[in-house]
Structure 1
Amino acid sequence: MTGTDAAGSAPLRDQPAPAPLGPESLTWRYFGDWRTLLLAPWAGAMQNAHPALGAGVARHSRFFEERWQRLLRSLYPIGGVVYDGPRAAETARTVRDYHRAIGGVDDQGRRYHALDPDTFYWAHATFFMLTVLTAERFGPGLTDAQRDQLYAEHVAWYRLYGMSMRPVPPDWPSFVTYWDRMCAEVLEDTAAARAVLDLRDLDRPPALGWLPWPLWCAARVPFRLLFTWLTVGLLPEAVRRRFGYRWTAADERLFRLAGRAVHLGWRLVPPSRRFHPRARAGWRRATGSRPSDTDTDTAPVETPARNLPPADRRDDPRHYVPAAARRAPHVSP
């Protein structure tokens, strides 16, 4: 396979696969943790505020028609880039290649492509910051040395995609400068980002399809208010102002208390239940309780059928769909 340096440019030859991250990494500790779902609207808004990324989602994605399914199934391959061990580079190239056909011209006449290095890296930067914010806002916090370690791990993680490393800052302080500049000068109040933040018509999660609609509508109100508040608290100040949100000192104090409560309460969750299934499989493999993924009989843990895209779109190369589901004539949701 080949990577693409930018839309319309010559492809890059894949380099020998870099070493994947392992259980000794801080990224393993935080990226597959279920607490990251508290940041899901934040990640979606930050990604879609990038004008090229937002245009790609608005014009090429069914995200707003199947929010839960799109989010929940994406966690499998994206998490696999971190947790798939010897298969991680293969998973990364597969994720990269979902984006090959996503490009065009936005409403302001600007060309965009999902595999433009600056665009692709911005999406990865938000995933990296998700690990930082999970640790800092809903976990024990990070030392300066741990931030440096997480940053070095994120560079190794990004290398697995086979993309140009040109946009990647050399170290954590340089990344902070990059992040602040992107938030202040590049991100926009896009329609796609606004749509991510609008949870008023959010459908039931697939696993709660049994819940009567009136009960979900009632439950959705506090859910929407809580997640909107959490997201506003997590947004960088420059982005918060751009979207017209207000955040007071009292909000910040309450947020810190809520984050501390999540951190302390998380200790009561059994370790085996704290991680996404793809991450749990990685931990089991690393501890020897699951066969190595080099064994051809051992396939990665894949998304359940309830998260799959509509049956008539499962052959679209832009969608992650496990091979077994592609072969099946129909998979019930």
Structure 2
Amino acid sequence: MTEVLEPAHSAAADTDQPRDLPPLGPGSATYRFFGDWRGLLMGLWSGSMQNMHPKLAAGVWEHSDFFGERWERLLRSVYPIGGVVFDPAPEKTAHEVRDYHLTIKGQMDDGGRYHALDPDVFYWAHATFWYGNIRCAEAFGPKITEAEKRQLFEESRTWYARYGVSMRPVPDTYEEFLDYWDHMCRYVLRDHAAVRTVLDITQLPPPPFMPSWTPRWLWKRMAASGNKTFLWLTTGLYDEPIREMMGLTWSARDEKLFRLFGKTVATVMRLVPARYRRHPRARDADDRHAGRVPADAPILETPARNLPSGAERDNPIHYCPVHAARRANLPWQSNEVDD
């Protein structure tokens, strides 16, 4: 039995790719705003917002090992995700990221079916990545203008087109996107165990970059304190309909403190040399364009400490590394995907 799915790479998927998309390179707004270390402050926001989509949450809950190794998966997955913007051959990286999701499908509790490459699901995940740039800049800097927001939207269409997934759910204008986002927040997104698990960092083990001699009791205290802080920050980043759905309160005092915190972050980051405000994959792209690294040098991958161990290292669902899909000999898919 087969299930006809729109998103798979095929001639039909190619024909709906717009031909008038803006370039996405060193002079783009996406290059300026994406890949900044301030994005780490958005981690719980983006992860929870993604998992509020009922179909995406079902796929993560049933298929992903994310909750078994949250630190490692987060730290290694940002490399290929960033590579879709920054790599010398970004479409190649994008297709590999897309194909990591080929086998993530199943049936939901209400009897409905889900697939990670359903265009509506895949675009929602993408929306949290690109729109997160705007939310991050608004909250923590650098300053962003309305023109830059619109430019980020236009470039987000170029970014998304690189995956080779249907463009059907992509809004045509920034205004239409804002309407789409509001509709999703009010009428589509739902609370889910996957959302609550993302928001609870108290059960996380120490991150792989923390010294191995760190006492467990000290990490537990740090995690408990960090959980309160990051949940508060994430609440400040949420739209009001999301706060109401999640049962989270936000006062005028909270908003004032949130804005003060954001200004402090922006001030501190201005003191950091521009090069070191950037994630390594973005910095690698900067170095290639500046001639500090040969243009044909191998792309920068995540440190080995972030990779899964044993046989799981070659499992392409782990983003491990971006070339794993090709090593596993996953075929290019047609519009028919085995049920």
**Is the structural similarity TM-score above 0.5?**
yes
Q: Which residue is 1:112 aligned to? A: 114
Q: Could you tell me how far apart the structure 2 residues matched to 1:147 and 1:259 are?
A: 18
> Equivalents in 2 of 1:100, 1:14: separation in Å?
18
Asked if residue 192 in structure 1 is aligned to residue 197 in structure 2, the reply is no
Contact residue 232 and residue 247 of structure 1 kept, 8 A: yes
Does structure 2 retain, via aligned residues, the 8 Å contact 1:139–1:262? yes
Give the aligned residue type for 1:257: L
Specify the SS of the correspondent of 1:314.
helix
Q: 1:279: Cα distance to partner?
A: 0.5
Which segment is superposed worse, 219-228 or 12-21?
12-21
Structure 2 residue 125 is matched with structure 1 residue 123? yes
2:42 maps to 1:43: no
Q: 2:25 matched to 1:22? A: yes
Unpaired runs of 5+ residues, structure 1, are 327-333
C-alpha distance in 2, partners of 1:196/1:252? 23
Residue 52 of structure 1 contacts residue 119 of structure 1 at CA under 8 Å; is this kept in 2?
A: yes
Shift of 1:190: 1.0
CA distance in 2, matches of 1:154, 1:267: 26
1:257 aligns with 2:260: yes
- Deviations 1:174-197 (CA, angstroms, capped at 9, x unpaired): 000000000100000111111111
Question: The residue matched to 1:206 in structure 2 has which SS?
Answer: coil
Name the Cα RMSD after superposition: 2.3
Contact 1:6 1:113 in 2 (8 A): no
Q: After TM superposition, give the deviation of residue 226 of structure 1 in Å.
A: 0.8
Question: Using the alignment, how far apart are the partners of 1:143 and 1:274 within structure 2?
Answer: 20
Q: Hey, what does 1:302 align to over in structure 2?
A: 301
SS at match of 2:249: coil
The alpha carbon displacement at 1:19 in A equals: 7.6
Q: Cα gap change, 1:215/1:45 in structure 2, threshold over 3 Å: closer, same or farther?
A: same
2:76 paired residue number: 73
Which of the numbers 285, 289, 306 marks the counterpart of 1:286? 289
1:47 to partner: Cα distance: 0.1
Q: Tell me the residue number matched to 1:329.
A: none
SS for the counterpart of 1:300 is: coil
How far did residue 320 of structure 1 move?
1.4
User: Which of 83, 87, 90 is matched with 1:88 structurally?
Assistant: 90
Whole-angstrom distance in 1 between the partners of 2:12 and 2:47: 28
The C-alpha deviation readout for 1:25-82, integer Å capped at 9, x for no partner, is: 1111121001000000000000000000000000000111111101000000000011
1:53 to 48, 52, 56: 56
| Number of equivalences | 319
TM-score by length of 1: 0.90
Q: 1:12 touches 1:163 (CA, 8 Å); kept in 2?
A: no
1:140 to 122, 133, 142: 142
Structure 2-normalised TM-score?
0.89
In 2: Cα distance, 1:119 partner to 1:110 partner: 14
Aligned residues of 1:5 and 1:11 also touching (Cα < 8 A): no
User: 1:104 is paired with a residue of what secondary structure?
Assistant: strand
**1:259-310 CA distance string (max 9 Å, x none):** 0000011011122211111010001111121111xx3xx2110011111123
Using the TM superposition, name which of 174-183 and 198-207 deviates more. 198-207
Question: Mean Cα displacement is larger for which, 302-311 or 114-123?
Answer: 302-311
- Native 8 Å contact 1:52 1:113 kept in 2: yes
Judge conservation of contact 1:20–1:89 (CA < 8 Å) in 2.
Answer: no
Contact 1:117–1:164, Cα closer than 8 Å, also in 2: yes
Q: What letter corresponds to residue 314 of structure 2 in structure 1?
A: D
Structure 1 pair 115–267 and aligned structure 2 pair: CA distance change class (3 A):
same
Tell me by how many angstroms 1:123 deviates: 0.1
How many Å apart are 1:325 and its aligned residue?
A: 8.8
Q: Which residue of 1 aligns with 2:319?
A: 320
Deviates more, 1:17-26 or 1:165-174: 17-26
Q: Secondary structure at the match of 1:170?
A: coil
Aligned partners of 2:44 and 2:198 also within 8 Å: yes
1:212-251: CA deviation from partner (whole Å, max 9, x where unpaired): 2121112112211110100111111111110100001110
User: Which amino acid counterpart does residue 99 of structure 1 have in structure 2?
Assistant: H
Q: Which runs of structure 1 show a deviation greater than 6 angstroms over 4 or more consecutive aligned residues?
A: 15-19, 323-326
> Following TM superposition, by how much is the alpha carbon of 1:206 offset from its aligned partner in structure 2, in angstroms?
0.5
Moved more, 20-29 or 143-152: 20-29
Q: Structure 1 residues 13, 178: closer, same or farther in 2, change over 3 A?
A: closer
CA deviation string 1:61-113 (max 9, x = no partner): 011111110100000000001111x3111000110000000000012212000
CA contact (8 A) 2:137 2:143 kept: yes
Q: Which amino acid aligns with 1:126?
A: T
Specify the alignment match of 1:97 in structure 2: 99
| Residue type at the aligned position of 2:180 | Y
1:5 is aligned to 2:6: yes
Q: 2:168 aligns with which of 159, 166, 169?
A: 166
Identity %: 52
C-alpha displacement of 1:124: 0.2
